[in-house]
Each structure stands twice: as structure tokens, then as C-alpha cells.
Amino acid sequence: MTHPHSKNLLSSVQMASFVATGAFRMDAVVPAEMNREAIDVLKAGIPGVPYGTPLSEAFVDSEFVQRLVQLPEVAGAIHSFVGPEPTVDHHAVHIRKANQGEAQNLHGDAIIDVRPDAFDVQLMYYPQEVTLEMGGTLSVPGSHLRKTNESDTGRYQNLLGQTRFTCPAGTVVFLHHGIWHGGRRNDSDIDRYMFKIRFNPTVRQVRLWNIEDLYDEQVAAELGQLFPWYENATGRLEIYNRVKLWQAITGDDTFDPDYWVTRVTNRPQRVVAQRTVNPHAKKELT
């Protein structure tokens, strides 16, 4: 059966970029008329949704959010990451007031999550242009597979390669649940709005995207990215983690371009035939 948003499913190269960086960004994907409507909607608040509600049954009291998640590009990305009919973990409206001189600590959005073959994604919608003065969301590319517990990273102020998120109005970003991030302070005269939804998968996250380019050489290049916040040696651990996740979501455990996984999972099962020893044989005299 063809997915209704099959034309908008992510490519394998895009998925590999997400596995490497922990984020996927779609600039100005939400129409201008929706963005103009959004601020009043977010000011009024989005009605609550019980944990675990299927997406098709969630937000029955918010026609705006229904339209947001049903935009073809957004729906295609959701399906690519978590499949059909994910459930809603939680949602929230974040408002950073004008000239608010306080920033959020760097953190991940979960206790230590040991799932090696599954992940949640968070949709973050920015209805207005976000300038550097407005602060935006800070995140650390490639940090999502480094296991931490919520605010373990809160003591860190700045990391090499971190991104200060600025964007045009109507931008949607999907984040892996484990990425290190935090809202920056707003030094502008404009209140900053952001709406987020966390989705939980209900199916195995295997080949949910457009796999026509599954073995494109750019896939390995994306997975092999290095980021400046870690040294080369620790970067190899992150590449290992990415390859393990890629193997899980493609169903191909032979994919290992630089053999990092092969080396540490090598447990041969072939047994060398051994000569039978007669315990009653007399020891030869020398």
C-alpha cells in the first residue's frame, strides 16, 4: 500500500544525516497564513493530550495542530522517523519573553535511554523568524547517542560546534530525543514562541522512509561526520553508535563501512576440531 505522503518521505541520505547529527530541519515549511495565525493560538494554549494517544486521535480540540501535522512535508517526515500512527508523548508551548535574561541549562529530554534500536522524535515549530538576538534553541550536533541523564550536561556553558538556532518563520525541526539542547535567553524586544510535540513509535522503525538511495555512497559519508566538540578517538565511538542505529533501522547488520562495529562484535562460532585424548594412556618416558 502506498503511503499517502510517499512523495514527501525522507531519503536515505537525509535519514543518515539525522542519525549522525540528531536533527532534521525544514525551513519555512509552514505556510505564512498559518504562521500569522499561530501566535494567537499558542498564546491561548494547546489543550492537553493524554500520554499515549494515537496521533490521529490527538489534538481533536486544536484544528490548528491537526493542520500542522498533516502538512505533506511534515507528515512525510513524521512517518519517516516513527512510522504510521505514532502516539503523542507530550506537547508544550514554550514562550521566551522579550528581554528575558535567563537561559535554560544544556540538557537531554529523558533519563538515560538504553534503547539501541528505537528512538522518539520531537517536532519543534517556530511560527516567527528567530534572530540571533532572540536567542533561539541551542543544540549540540552529534550528541544524541552519548547517553546522559537529563541535566548531566547542565554544567557545560559552551561546546565547540554547538548551534544557535536562527530561522525564517514557519520552520520545523525534528530532534532525536537524546540530543543535548537548551533554550537561549531572549535579548530582543519580541516574545519568542515555539511549539513542540514528542512522538513515540508504535512500529519497528525499519525502512520507513524512501529507500531508493539506500546504498548511495553519500549515506556512509553522512554517518562518518565528525564534530568539533569531541576528539577524534571519541568520535569513533559516536560513529560506532550511529552505525549500530543505522543497522537497526535498515535491517542490514552487514553495513559497516570502516569496520568499527565488526571489530568489537567479532565472536566467531566455528570450533576448531580437537584431538581426542585417552585419559588412560601411559605417559611416554623420556
CATH of the domain at 71: 2.60.120.620
List, for residues 235-263, the tens digit of each pLDDT value. Answer: 888 999 999 999 999 999 999 988 889 99
Q: Are residues 103 and 234 in the same domain?
A: no
CA gap 24, 18 in Å, rounded:
6
Q: What is the pLDDT of residue 284?
A: 57
Q: What is the pLDDT of residue 110?
A: 78
Query: Residue 170 — left, alpha, or beta (φ > 0 → left; ψ -120 to 50 → alpha)?
Result: left
Range of the domain at 79: 6-200
List, for residues 112-146, the tens digit of each pLDDT value. Answer: 888 888 999 999 999 999 999 998 888 999 999 98
Q: What is the pLDDT of residue 80?
A: 98
The answer as to whether 210 is a domain residue is no
27, 232 Cβ separation under 8 angstroms:
no
Residue 129, burial from CB neighbour count under 10 angstroms (0-12, 13-18, 19+): middle
Q: Are residues 37 and 96 in the same domain?
A: yes
Residue 2 confidence (pLDDT) above 80: no
DSSP 133: G
Q: Are residues 121 and 243 in the same domain?
A: no
The answer as to whether 61 is a domain residue is yes
157, 19 Cβ separation under 8 angstroms:
no
Q: What is the pLDDT of residue 160?
A: 87
Crossing angle of helices 63-70/32-44, nearest 10°?
140
Confidence of residue 1 (pLDDT cuts 50, 70, 90): very low
Q: Are residues 71 and 130 in the same domain?
A: yes
pTM to 2 decimal places: 0.90
Q: What is the pLDDT of residue 276?
A: 76
